[in-house]
A = this chain, B = another copy of it.
């Protein structure tokens, strides 16, 4: 059912976005349609990857799912970097991590707990993800403190005297995050009882590998096109809607790239399949922090618009408190609906602060 809607939006949306673009239609409308299209395409792409993974066997499939998971957000962020909108990229990374850890995880625990009472999950897997998130948070806190101490800030760019040192630290952090990501993925795929690998055996692929590969390539191409349209209509849309670019970065873009996946996460919690639900929330946040962030840092270097890891103070605080409370709650391998409410409350506090900041 969800799938059918997503496919419809993917195809119809892509055609419509293309038409609006060619006709040079109202940019706010084009922005809205492209956002909706990306939402559908992210789901379709994820589904095609999963199907291809089922055909390829659990190990390769696991790696593929893990890598493609946040591809929508990465593509949007890449176009933002090309446009030099580094501040919005920082905001959308913050929003993705915090959204997954507080809003999606919170909603999952809330809905799942109200339906099923106290729920259990594997504390080991969650604990490793939480430790990786703490590492990633440290990878944001240290450059921010460092930049503050040497007199730089979020806006430090090539040419500023502090830039070289901040960029060196940024690249060091990016390399270490990526190494940890590869190590952790390798560890999960090799350990026999991990939920990632236990995933596969139960299901048979519904599509042939040719179909899967075709859908994958087509939706990736469409996603790239729609993201380009989204980023280029962002400025006029923002101007006509009267919201700040920053707020769009922190709330809207993470939602667009991930909404379908979020629905899946909450649905899994409702069905009391907590280990799989946590992969779409905590696991997704880990992926953004350890995989998307370094990839975008390297992309920025290549295209000559470097993405430093110097986030604004409230962004650092947001990621810090989000990781802190989520890792504390996830520590005991059991959850209830009050814990879900606590996480959602922190998300709303942060959203209010970001809304009034500008």
Are B352 and A169 in contact, with the CB atoms below 8 A?
Answer: yes
CA distance A168 to B351 in the complex (A): 12
Q: A49 CB to closest chain B CB, in angstroms?
A: 24
Which bracket fits the contact residues of A? 35 or more
A353 contact from B146, B180, B187, Cβ within 8 A: B146
Instruction: Check A332 against B169 for contact (C-beta < 8 Å).
Output: no
Q: Assess A352 versus B149: contact at CB under 8 Å? Given A134-B328, A346-B138.
A: no
Give the dominant DSSP class at A's interface: helix
A197 in contact (CB, < 8 A): no
**Of the residues B177, B183, B349, contact of A172 by C-beta under 8 Å:** B349
Asked whether A338 lies within 8 Å of B187 as measured between CB atoms, the reply is yes
B131 touches A342 (CB 8 A): yes
Residues of B within 8 A of A329 (CB): 131
- A165 at interface (Cβ–Cβ under 8 A)? yes
- Of the listed stretches A89-97, A239-247, A317-325, chain B binds A317-325
Cβ of A321 to closest chain B Cβ, rounded Å: 5
- Top 10 A-B pairs, shortest CB-CB distance: A176-B345, A165-B356, A172-B352, A138-B321, A187-B338, A146-B353, A135-B342, A134-B325, A145-B317, A142-B353
Which of B124, B180, B187, B346 contacts A135 (CB under 8 A)? B346
User: Smallest CB–CB gap between A58 and chain B, Å?
Assistant: 20
Enumerate A324-358 residues with CB–CB distance to B below 8 Å. 324-325, 327-329, 331-332, 334, 336-339, 341-342, 345-346, 348-350, 352-353, 356-357
Chain B residues within 8 Å of A184, by CB: 338
User: What are 20 A-B contacts defined by CB distance under 8 Å?
Assistant: A127-B331, A131-B329, A138-B321, A139-B349, A142-B314, A142-B321, A145-B353, A146-B314, A146-B356, A148-B313, A168-B352, A169-B349, A169-B356, A172-B348, A172-B349, A173-B352, A180-B341, A180-B345, A183-B338, A183-B341
